[in-house]
Amino acid sequence: MAITIKSSSEVEKMRIAGRLAASVLDMITPHVAVGVTTEHLDQICHKFIVDELDAIPAPLNYHGFPKSICTSINNVVCHGIPSEKKLKKGDIINIDITVIKNGYHGDTSKMFIVGKANVKATRICKIAQECMYLGIDLVKPGTHLGEIGQVIGAHAHSQHCSVVRDYCGHGIGQGFHEEPQVLHYDNGKTKQSPILEPGMTFTIEPMINLGNYQVVTSRLDGWTVTTKDRSLSAQWEHTILVTETGHEILTLRAEESI
């Protein structure tokens, strides 16, 4: 399957799906607090997506994933499964929301610092967000897809952090994970990578580690991805549309001043 170019009516559906996904992060924000379980956050999001948004939580049953959102705490890189574990002061948590509305996907995530933030937590969350925005800034017709990974890798390394290589951003539309793969590091093949065109939609979702880039997947649940060296990891994600003149962030929230 090649990279799909969305028609203007498809773009309109992507805008709606993106806006709804963003609204879930806004809705859940006041609930992220010390003592709350990630299972509770999952239940609130599930109910909101189904009952209020009349949409589908894409993760639920996706390749057997058991919950409606992903909640990834501290050394968990991605695909954390909501559970009865309570949030503690100083935890960092990524909440990743994907909704399907009218057949189209919107995918977005952000970091929360629980209770009082510490220096390391603040730092990794900030660097990962900067990485995402630096990648987004490059999105316009004519850019090579690989340039996104180059700028993200350069920024992470300048801060002595590492970029997860085993997971990447992705095209998105009627499919949750479409072509192309959006690498967040430089694989040395930028010139051979696709050139961005208006109507492409994809995510940028760098996972940045304080320590080494290597990750392991839980042998117990088959999903939870952690840093091999147990260092903190942070991730932010937006769904982006390539426009004639640049880009549109389809999952932008009001709190983001760009």
Residue 96 lies near ligand MF3 (rule: CB under 6 A)? yes
Q: In this structure, are residues 25 and 110 in contact, taking their beta carbons and an 8 Å threshold?
A: yes
Q: Rule CB under 6 A: choose which of 107, 163, 196, 200 binds ligand MF3.
A: 107
Residues that bind Co ion (CB under 5 A): 96, 107, 203, 237
Residue 59 lies near ligand MF3 (rule: CB under 6 A)? yes
Q: Rule CB under 6 A: choose which of 23, 74, 75, 98 binds ligand MF3.
A: 98
For the CB of residue 213, give the shortest distance to ligand MF3 in the complex, in Å: 18
Does the bond joining 180 to the residue before it have cis omega, within 30 degrees of 0? yes
Which partner from the list ligand MF3, Co ion, none does 104 bind, CB cut-off 5 to 8 Å by kind?
none
Q: Which parts of 183-222 interact with ligand MF3 (CB under 6 A)?
A: 203, 205
Interface size with ligand MF3, residues (CB under 6 A): 12
Residue 70 lies near ligand MF3 (rule: CB under 6 A)? yes
For the CB of residue 63, give the shortest distance to ligand MF3 in the complex, in Å: 6
Which partner from the list ligand MF3, Co ion, none does 65 bind, CB cut-off 5 to 8 Å by kind?
ligand MF3
Q: Rule CB under 6 A: choose which of 17, 20, 65, 92 binds ligand MF3.
A: 65
Residues that bind ligand MF3 (CB under 6 A): 59, 62-63, 65, 70, 79, 96, 98, 107, 203, 205, 237
